[in-house]
Amino acid sequence: MCQGKPLSVIELFYGLFHMDIPKTPRNSLRKPQDIEMYALYYAPRFIKEYWQAKRLRQLIKHATRNIPLYRDLLASKKIDVRRVRKPTDLRLLPIITKETFSGSSVDMFVDNSRTMNQVWSSTSGTSGKPFSFIPGLSGDLTYSDFISFRFLLSYGWYPWEISEIKIARIKMHRDNRENRFFVSVQEFFSDPDASIVRIAEFKPLVLEGFPSVLLELVRRVEANPSLPKIAPRFAVVMGEVLTVAARERISKALGCEVYNRYSTEEMGTLGMECGQHDGFHLINDVVLVEVTDDTGAPAAPGEQGKILLTDLSNFNMPLIRYDVGDSGFIIKDACACGQLAPRIKIAGRHSASLSFGARRIFHLECAAIFEAFSGIVLQYQVVKRSDSELLLRLVTSRELTEAETLDITKAFHAIAGEIRVVPERVKLIESSPTGKSQTIVDMSAV
């Protein structure tokens, strides 16, 4: 077990009531915010609710003063923001989506009241449509790990020890820090065996990745007995549907317990499974999660609806009632684990691959290719027409040059083999009933 220094009670209370609007461009978690984070974690429910209501009022006041997009949106709908006092009042506000931002210039939706060295992030486009944004606290790695590996506390670790736990992750974006070992999705798929050797050498306690990636890792480990054994105590997956069969396969092959979590690229981890593995406990106190019908009215517990998120830590580019494109439902019943945080179940996330002979291409590989063209390719759909033909339906900001078309074609040849690749510029890619566009489509199977 790692050793860490606990915080004093005085520090905790100082953190909780020191509620300045974060002034740094990235909401840095250097003190006092990290104290605030632990204080919130240990605070009783009514204190959390008090903190959330106060932060919400600060955020809305800030957005109406400093973010022209919100000011105009709320004025056009004649909304009196003073009526929004607490999280349940959010229903008075309009829903925003990626499209709300796409038609506006940047200075319309970022904080213009101060100079910022903006650190932009971009979603990887696994939903078929990359989106650039400035993150709130979720952009801070210490904070994001604190939320994402919260389940370890039920095994006896303390919150301040999480940064000392050895975690290997196969992800889209690099973050190399002490006690963290990173392999990019691209690196993994280009040479899985070498990646497996490096991960095994690192000896992680936790192995983290997308279900499709960990399944591929398991397949390689089983196919090649000469590879060293990766024996994490836990595997953590996110970003795609985790089927019962996939959970069992990963758990059995690696000899570990599999924890699934609900995270979004825009706001990081929102929900985490407990040892019961029955839904995600909503444990991120700085993001308000609503499940609503299409009009924005709250869905009853157990009733499926769209998921709206409000990031109470993001004053740089406020996202208030942001429709992230997922749907799900809330479970209010008590969980056998004893945690009081309600649970959410998610319907409609991505998990897809296409086979070409012996080769399989995964949606993440496609996302990685289009990420290199994120300023140009706004949305895409990868369609397998037959065993020898791949159609790329692309919504682009302008006509692709011949060189760009060739680069994209080559990148697909590299992952799928010498098949026919047909890029096609389209105006629109229709969404599936869950609201997310379908990025990977197999027409050859129809």
Task: Name the residues that contact Zn ion, by CB under 5 A.
Answer: 274, 276, 335, 337, 339
- Give min distance, CB of 302 to Zn ion, in A: 17
Within 67-168, residue ranges assigned H as helices are 68-76, 98-102, 106-109, 141-148
Q: Which is nearer to Zn ion, 227 or 337 (CB)?
A: 337
Spatial separation of the C-alpha atoms in residues 318 and 237, rounded to whole Å: 28
CB–CB of 33/27 below 8 Å? yes
- Give min distance, CB of 160 to Zn ion, in A: 23
Q: Which is nearer to Zn ion, 263 or 351 (CB)?
A: 263
Spatial separation of the C-alpha atoms in residues 360 and 146, rounded to whole Å: 34
Reduced to 3 states (helix: H, G, I; strand: E, B; else coil), residue 286 is coil
Q: Which is nearer to Zn ion, 280 or 370 (CB)?
A: 280
Phi, psi (degrees; rounded to nearest 5) at 130: -65, 150
Residue 56 is inside which H or E element, if any?
helix 45-66
Q: Which is nearer to Zn ion, 183 or 274 (CB)?
A: 274
Spatial separation of the C-alpha atoms in residues 387 and 409, rounded to whole Å: 16
Q: Which is nearer to Zn ion, 223 or 336 (CB)?
A: 336
- Give min distance, CB of 47 to Zn ion, in A: 21
- Give min distance, CB of 236 to Zn ion, in A: 16
Q: Which is nearer to Zn ion, 265 or 273 (CB)?
A: 273
Q: Which two tokens stand for residue 429?
A: 């890619």
Spatial separation of the C-alpha atoms in residues 263 and 270, rounded to whole Å: 5
- Give min distance, CB of 275 to Zn ion, in A: 7
Residue 333 makes CB contacts below 8 A (sequence gap 6+) with none
- Give min distance, CB of 251 to Zn ion, in A: 18
Q: Which two tokens stand for residue 338?
A: 């004893």
- For residue 322, give the nearest of 124, 131, 118 by alpha carbon: 131
Q: Which is nearer to Zn ion, 48 or 425 (CB)?
A: 48
Q: Which is nearer to Zn ion, 153 or 297 (CB)?
A: 153
Spatial separation of the C-alpha atoms in residues 69 and 74, rounded to whole Å: 9
- Give min distance, CB of 335 to Zn ion, in A: 3
Spatial separation of the C-alpha atoms in residues 63 and 42, rounded to whole Å: 29
Strand partners, 306: 292, 327
Q: Which is nearer to Zn ion, 337 or 395 (CB)?
A: 337
Spatial separation of the C-alpha atoms in residues 311 and 56, rounded to whole Å: 9
Q: Which is nearer to Zn ion, 188 or 280 (CB)?
A: 280
- Give min distance, CB of 277 to Zn ion, in A: 9
- For residue 290, give the nearest of 431, 93, 136, 64 by alpha carbon: 93
Give the chain's count of helices (H) and strands (E). Answer: 13, 19
- Give min distance, CB of 50 to Zn ion, in A: 24
- Give min distance, CB of 149 to Zn ion, in A: 16
CB–CB of 423/394 below 8 Å? yes
Q: Which is nearer to Zn ion, 4 or 275 (CB)?
A: 275
Angle, vertex CA 210, rays to CA 204 and CA 214, nearest 5: 60
Spatial separation of the C-alpha atoms in residues 330 and 143, rounded to whole Å: 25
- Could you identify the residue written with the tokens 């919400």? 56
- Give min distance, CB of 343 to Zn ion, in A: 7
